[in-house]
């Protein structure tokens, strides 16, 4: 199939780690993924005012759909740590402050869990996707990956909290897995699989 005949999907994220993963996971799916950088002339900032992953994903997908008229795929995701009552949750990207980077967020997480023992460090990554396909319709899906938080950062693959997150059943962090290994169990891969099922699109 030639590219011209593929449905265009604008991926509504400014997070390069997410974009790369979405591109990798959907590599053999008959959709043409377009990045924000390719579509917009300047950096886009969308205010995430929702209090749930779904609200924020919808805000991002709606904004991009309205600007482009293209199908828009948004990912809102984060880490829920049980010992912290579900924090950082929807605030995962801004845990240590609005301008905080990955290292500061990871350090803050380790500090907050300083006195928490191995058996009480359970956590999960959650990813909610919204695919906006028409002015009055969208599809939504969710994926969860259970695990726990380590005691120090390990590994250099992936992005965000990956060096601290150990998925259930493994003794390596997400950042110590290859991208293929991460995509076999990640919240994002599960959410994308579920979205494709709803869309009735099968990998080529
Ligand atoms: P966009 O809104 O532009 O997509 P963002 O990074 O602000 O980018 P979110 O508001 O959804 O996106 O925040 C998600 C944060 O959760 C992200 O910045 C990471 O810190 C964390 N996160 C989500 N998925 C992750 C993953 O697979 N590995 C590590 N950290 C992840």
CATH architecture for residues 7-199: Alpha-Beta Complex (3.90)
48 CA to middle of ligand 1, Å? 12
Query: Mind telling me the catalytic residues?
Result: 76
Is residue 76's pLDDT more than 80? yes
Q: Is residue 35 lining ligand 1, measured as CB closer than 6 Å?
A: no
**Residues in a beta bridge with 130:** 74, 140
pLDDT tens readout for residues 118-133: 999 999 999 999 999 9
pLDDT tens readout for residues 78-117: 999 999 999 999 999 999 999 999 999 999 999 999 999 9
Is residue 202's pLDDT more than 90? no
Least confident range from 4-13, 73-82, 173-182: namely: 4-13
Task: Look at residue 200 in the predicted model and tell me its pLDDT.
Answer: 86
Taking a C-beta distance cutoff of 8 angstroms, is the pair 112, 125 a contact? Answer: no
What are the domain boundaries of the chain?
A: 7-199
CA nearest ligand 1 atom 30, residue:
160
Task: Look at residue 203 in the predicted model and tell me its pLDDT.
Answer: 64
69 CA to middle of ligand 1, Å? 25
pLDDT tens readout for residues 31-67: 999 999 999 999 999 999 999 999 999 999 999 999 9
pTM for this model (two decimals): 0.96
């Amino acid at each position: 199939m030639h590219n011209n005949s593929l449905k265009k999907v604008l991926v509504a994220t400014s997070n390069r780690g997410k974009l790369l993963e979405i591109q990798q996971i959907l590599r053999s799916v008959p959709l043409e993924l377009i990045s924000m950088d390719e579509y917009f002339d300047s950096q886009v900032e969308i205010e995430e005012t929702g209090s749930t992953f779904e609200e924020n994903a919808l805000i991002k997908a709606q904004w991009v759909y309205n600007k482009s008229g293209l199908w828009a795929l948004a990912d809102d995701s984060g880490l829920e740590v049980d010992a912290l009552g579900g924090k950082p949750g929807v605030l995962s990207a801004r845990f240590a402050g609005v301008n905080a980077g990955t290292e500061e967020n990871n350090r803050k997480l380790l500090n907050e869990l300083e006195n928490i023992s191995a058996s009480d460090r359970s956590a999960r990554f959650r990813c909610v996707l919204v695919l906006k396909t028409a002015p009055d319709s969208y599809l939504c899906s969710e994926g969860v990956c259970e695990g726990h938080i380590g005691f120090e950062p390990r590994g250099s693959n992936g992005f965000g909290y990956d060096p601290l997150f150990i998925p259930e059943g493994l003794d390596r962090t997400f950042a110590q897995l290859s991208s293929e290994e991460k995509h076999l169990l990640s919240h994002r891969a599960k959410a994308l699989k579920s979205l494709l099922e709803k869309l009735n699109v099968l990998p080529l």
